[in-house]
């Protein structure tokens, strides 16, 4: 019996591939229930375990890296924080003047982000939204940042998501992936990144060469900078896609 791949949506239709939707809903459930308090602590100055301290340090270094790849003056520039979590990157971009749409599938974390965003945001602003980062209703952007929000998806779904975002982006897409290394593959196969009680849905390591080959299908885009961050149990790689056509 023949099988068919899900149809590619038009510019005004959401991406609804079954595996993507299934994973998205699992992540929403996890981050709004089991892991909510752990991620509130991880993204604050609360005391955490040694393992989580390395993850916190790595995430802070990654956020600084991604922000440094954005223009220094973002005034009147629309930016999508795709998978904003508790909002640190969105607030930092707003302080550079960006008009930020910050979206996360976990509504509880978006509420935490709102509560933390009560101070000065420079010339920028943030619109907080709970929902799908690929929803075309968010509109178009000059820049998209997806920090550690695509690492739970298969390579197919990851590249499909980037392709969807590329149709509504005019400047750059900055995202992270879990680089496939023997150590990282072993760590995730035995599930020891976090204790079992609050372990997240599996992170999917991706070989860099394979990912870059897949990204070649994004017409009018080229690969720019890349940087790997390794901090104890946090291992993630940033990649820049630049609009060329």
Strand partners, 229: 236
pLDDT tens, residue by residue, 163-206 = 999 999 999 999 999 998 766 555 555 454 444 444 557 889 99
Residue of 133, 131, 176 whose CA lies nearest to 151: 176
pLDDT tens, residue by residue, 25-43 = 999 999 998 889 998 999 9
106: left (phi over 0), alpha (psi -120 to 50) or beta: beta
pLDDT bracket for residue 223 (50, 70, 90): very high
- CA–CA separation, 240 and 223 (whole Å): 6
Which pLDDT score is estimated for 118? 80
| Res 17 pLDDT > 80 | no
Least-confidence region, from 16-30, 191-205, 218-232: 191-205
- CA–CA separation, 163 and 38 (whole Å): 32
pLDDT, mean of residues 3-13: 43
| Res 8 pLDDT > 60 | no
| Res 1 pLDDT > 60 | no
**Predicted model pTM:** 0.87
pLDDT tens, residue by residue, 71-106 = 999 999 999 999 999 999 999 999 999 999 999 999
pLDDT bracket for residue 2 (50, 70, 90): very low
pLDDT bracket for residue 3 (50, 70, 90): very low
Strand partners, 174: 145, 240
Asked if 214 contacts 223 with a C-beta cutoff of 8 angstroms, the reply is no
pLDDT tens, residue by residue, 100-144 = 999 999 999 999 999 999 877 778 999 999 999 999 999 999 999
pLDDT bracket for residue 4 (50, 70, 90): very low
Which pLDDT score is estimated for 202? 83
Q: Which residue has the tokens 């390591």?
A: 205
Strand partners, 243: 221
Q: What percent of the chain has pLDDT over 90?
A: 75
């Amino acid at each position: 019996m023949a099988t068919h791949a899900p149809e590619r949506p038009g510019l005004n239709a959401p991406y609804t591939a079954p595996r993507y939707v299934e994973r998205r809903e699992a992540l929403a459930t996890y981050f709004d229930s089991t892991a909510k308090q752990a991620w509130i602590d991880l993204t604050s100055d609360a005391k955490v375990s040694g393992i989580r301290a390395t993850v916190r340090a790595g995430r802070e270094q990654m956020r600084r890296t991604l922000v440094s790849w954005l223009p220094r003056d973002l005034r009147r520039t629309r930016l999508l924080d795709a998978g904003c979590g508790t909002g640190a990157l969105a607030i930092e971009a707003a302080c550079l003047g960006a008009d930020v749409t910050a979206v996360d599938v976990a509504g509880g974390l978006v509420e935490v982000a709102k509560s933390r965003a009560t101070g000065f945001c420079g010339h920028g602003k943030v619109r907080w939204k709970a929902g799908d980062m690929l929803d075309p209703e968010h509109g178009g952007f000059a820049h998209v940042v997806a920090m550690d929000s695509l690492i739970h998806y298969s390579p197919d779904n990851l590249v499909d998501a980037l392709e969807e975002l590329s149709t509504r982006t005019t400047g750059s897409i900055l995202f992270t992936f879990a680089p496939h290394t023997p150590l990282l593959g072993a760590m995730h196969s035995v599930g020891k990144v976090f204790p079992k009680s609050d372990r997240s849905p599996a992170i999917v390591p991706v070989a860099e060469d394979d990912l870059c080959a897949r990204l070649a299908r994004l017409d009018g885009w080229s690969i720019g900078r890349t940087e790997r961050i390794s901090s104890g149990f946090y291992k993630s790689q940033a990649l820049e896609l630049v609009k060329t056509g």
